[in-house]
Amino acid sequence: MPDDQAPLPPIPVPPAQRWREVRLLYLPRTVFALGVVGVVLLWSRWVAPATIVAEAEAVQAEVRSAQAGTLLGLKVAAFQEVQANEVLGHVATVDPKLLEATLAVIRAEVGMLSSTMAGATDRLRVALEFERLQVEWMTARVELAALRGKLQVAEGDLDRMTPLHRSGVVSEENFAQLKAVRDSLVEQVAEQTKLVARLEPAIRSFAGVGEGGAATSPDSALATAIKVQDAKLKLAEQQLTPVPLVSPIAGVVAAVFRRTGEAVVAGEPILRITAKKPDRLSGFMRQPLPFEPKVGMPVEIRSRAGSRQSARAAILNVGAGMETLTPSIVAAMRLPPAPLPEPGLRIQIAIPEGFVVKPGEFVDVLVP
């Protein structure tokens, strides 16, 4: 090269040409490598086939009435949260007409006892005065029981008509009349309760005097008859007391089978309550068993929700024999419908702390 000629400068490469080389040479290789890494991660963490499909057991309890009767004042509705041992309503176990007839018989027999005492001699005056007070006390209690029975019926009618009044089915005049009847019965029950409370101390004090040597006649036929009527009245008062419906667990009302005012039979479900948190997971291993599960064996559980939770857990219990797969598990495993039920080995798995799962939700279980 002659000395008078300098080296030529390098020809500049346009940025577009350099970007084209990156797109054609390096970008496909990089995308391919990242894709392989992503597929490996997804397959190992999320797409790995589950050994067992488990279901979060829903803890449910049904509220039933031990006796037949009429449902009164149901206080809860569907999806309402309740607490354990909370009173959800009452069941009136006695027919108001039957109660009124029973009280009428007691009232007539007590009146007959009053007529019997009218012809007694002065020698039994002290004893008869005590027995007269007992008869008056029982008469007041009979009237109180009758008023309470009418009040239960009135409150039941008012509870049934309240939603109808809000929707405009029942007129304002009819609703006001029902409310007035209920309020009147409430006042009558209060006054009759005060009367019974005033008579009871006099009975107790008179009984104390008789025990100190007064000429009472506790063994007389009249005293025996009074005791019989008192026992009948106590039975009627006990039947008048509504049976409370108590929630056995804390949770949410999942279903309401009966409404206020409906007749229920003994043992009939009225409400179904579902606990907000499941206690454990339950799944089945299909045959042939790939391994022999044991209590305490570690497993990995993965949720199917959007958050994709995963946690380590342990097997709680293993079934003693094969059981038929439940329809929900069959649907979760996406098995084809079989003409005969398929048996499997039931396994229960503990739910670790912090693993959020709803009752009835499906999870995948992997056994390492």
What type of residue is 2? Answer: P
pLDDT tens for 10-53 read 878 788 888 888 888 888 889 999 999 988 877 766 666 778 88
Question: How much is the pLDDT for 321?
Answer: 87
Question: Looking at residue 215, what is its pLDDT?
Answer: 41
Contact yes or no for 351/280 (Cβ under 8 A): yes
User: In this structure, what token pair is assigned to residue 174?
Assistant: 């009819």
- pLDDT given at position 339: 60
Which pTM does this prediction carry? 0.58
Cβ atoms within 10 Å of 338's Cβ, excluding its own: 9
Neighbours of 6 (CB within 10 A): 7
Give the best-scoring range by mean pLDDT among 112-116, 124-128, 222-226, 291-295. Answer: 291-295
Choose among 178, 183, 161: nearest CA to 170: 161
| pLDDT at residue 290 greater than cutoff 70 | yes
Nearest to 242 by CA among 82, 68, 4, 366: 68
Q: Beta-strand (E) ranges in 191-293?
A: 243-246, 251-256, 263-264, 269-274, 280-286
More confident residue, 184 or 231: 184
Q: How confident is the model at residue 183 (pLDDT cuts 50, 70, 90)?
A: confident
pLDDT at 273 over 90: yes
Residue whose C-alpha is closest to residue 324's, from 362, 294, 287, 291: 287
Please return the burial class of 312, using the count of CB atoms within 10 Å of its CB with bins 0-12, 13-18 and 19+: exposed
Q: Are 252 and 84 in contact (CB under 8 A)?
A: no
Percentage of the chain exceeding pLDDT 90: 14
Grouping H, G, I as helix, E, B as strand and the rest as coil, residue 250 is coil
Is 80 exceeded by the pLDDT of residue 238? no
Task: For 130-145, write each residue's pLDDT tens digit.
Answer: 667 777 777 777 787 7
Residue 2 above 80 pLDDT? no
Task: Provide the pLDDT for residue 109.
Answer: 72
Secondary structure (DSSP) of 320-334: EEEEEPPHHHHHHTT
For residue 194, the model assigns a pLDDT of 81
Average pLDDT over residues 143-172: 80
DSSP string, 108-160: HHHHHHHHHHTT--GGGHHHHHHHHHHHHHHHHHHHHHHHHHHHHHHHHHHHH
Give the span between the Cα atoms of 294 and 290, in whole angstroms.
13
Tokens of 258: 């009966």
Examine the pLDDT at 271 and tell me if it is beyond 90.
Answer: yes
pLDDT digits (tens, 9 = 90+) for 48-76: 677 888 899 888 999 998 888 888 888 88
**Cβ burial 218-231 (10 Å sphere, 16+ → b, else e):** eeeebbebbeebbe
**332-350 pLDDT, tens digit each:** 777 776 667 788 899 999 9
